[in-house]
Amino acid sequence: MSEVRFLVPGMTCGHCVNAVSTELSGVPGVETVEVDLETKTVVVIGARIDPNDLIAAVDEAGYEAVGLS
């Protein structure tokens, strides 16, 4: 399992959290998505996660992923 952390600075409410979580949960290999609205931090845990897929999923939700690591 690998862990990927990044920021989504555009999130401002619970709807934002749900939109980002839903899109990321659909990415192949993703097991767990944790989103913290207060810190605007996202942690994705899974197997063989492609960071480009995470960026695309966040973009699909209408937000930007920053500092992907």
pLDDT tens-digit map of 3-62? 999 999 999 999 999 999 999 999 999 999 999 999 999 999 999 999 999 999 999 999
Helices 51-60 & 14-25 angle (0-180, nearest 10): 140
pLDDT score at 38: 98
Which of the four pLDDT bands, split at 50, 70 and 90, describes residue 68? confident
Do the Cβ atoms of 29 and 48 come closer than 8 Å? yes
In the chain the domains, ranked by start, together with CATH numbers, are 2-60 (3.30.70.100)
Alpha carbons 63 and 69: distance in angstroms, whole number: 17
Do the Cβ atoms of 31 and 45 come closer than 8 Å? yes
pLDDT score at 60: 98
pLDDT score at 7: 98
